[in-house]
Amino acid sequence: MVRQDAIRQLVRQRMIRTQRDLVDGLEDMGFVCTQATVSRDINEMGLRKLAEGVYILSEDLLLQRLVSDLVTDVVVAQNLVVVKTAAGSAQGVAAALEAAGEPNVLGLVAGDDTILVVAADTDQAKAFEAAINKLRLR
């Protein structure tokens, strides 16, 4: 469903705390829907709320745990993103990032404690940074 794909994108890229935030974000993307419609979508998609009050996709819960526990820093340099992790953790985090199918990533390379992420442009690199920093919430 196209609306649910838009919700997936919003939840991954923004700090969505309420159903109203989703309705407003969908309106910004050209969708007209009610809070009741969004509520049904939340149930169908299995969205969860973290303790911090932010919605997350159920399929991103493992990634969120890995990122919040192991990622120590994220830095953007033009279309490149450097993700620093705890020692020995970069390859596991990189595998989880690849499995999540992040749309802003063209590719990545992992060492011991550093992941180099390549995005198509600076805007996509910043979007990836925002998505990772959202997952770092504790």
Q: What DSSP string runs through 19-78?
A: HHHHHHHHHHTT----HHHHHHHHHHHT-EE-TTS-EE-GGGHHHHHHHHHHEEEEEEET
- List pLDDT tens digits, range 11-55: 988 889 999 999 999 999 999 999 999 999 999 999 999 888 889
CB-CB contact of 111 with 66 (8 Å): no
How much is the average pLDDT of 96-100?
86
In this predicted model, which residue has the larger pLDDT, 20 or 134?
20
Whole-number pLDDT of residue 137 = 73
Any idea which residue has 């994220």 for tokens? 74
**Is pLDDT at 138 greater than 60 in this prediction?**
no
The number of angstroms, rounded, from the C-alpha of 117 to the middle of its chain's C-alpha atoms is 14
Coil vs helix vs strand at 15: coil
For tokens 């910043």, what's the residue? 126
Spatial CB neighbours of 24, under 8 Å, sequence gap ≥ 6: none
The pLDDT tens digits for 42-92 are 999 999 998 888 899 888 888 888 999 999 999 999 999 999 999 999 999
